[in-house]
Amino acid sequence: MPEDSLITVTDDTFADVVLGARLPVLVDFWAEWCPPCRPVAVTLAELAGEFAGRVLIAKLNADENPESARAYRVMSMPTLMFFRSGVVVNTIVGARPKGMLRSALTAAVEPYANR
């Protein structure tokens, strides 16, 4: 299992890295052609340090990995999906401010805080 807080996943690694993770995982479904995806990526990179050891932030290029995007019915980008124990527990579609993403990450890790 990767130790980095911010990683890239593919169709081939999605099940092992995301669904098999011991920590909550935020998957950023993005594409090169998506202008709002760029600032979201910068924000997530900044937040990855804050949440290191508590959450895994994974980036998945939806154009290069269509199976995962299709499996989770990703229709717009960016789409951020929060997984806990392999199950989607929250989805955010579209760019959001850093404070909102921080709050969503905090909510994703709270059930794990006392373990």
Q: Of residues 11, 13, 23, 34, which has the active-site annotation?
A: 34
37 is a catalytic site residue = yes
17 a catalytic residue: no
Q: Cα–Cα distance between 76 and 37 in angstroms, integer?
A: 11
Active-site pick, 6, 9, 27, 37: 37
Query: Around Cβ 34, how many Cβ atoms within 10 Å?
Result: 17
Distance CA 107, CA 84 (A): 11
The residues that are catalytic are 34, 37
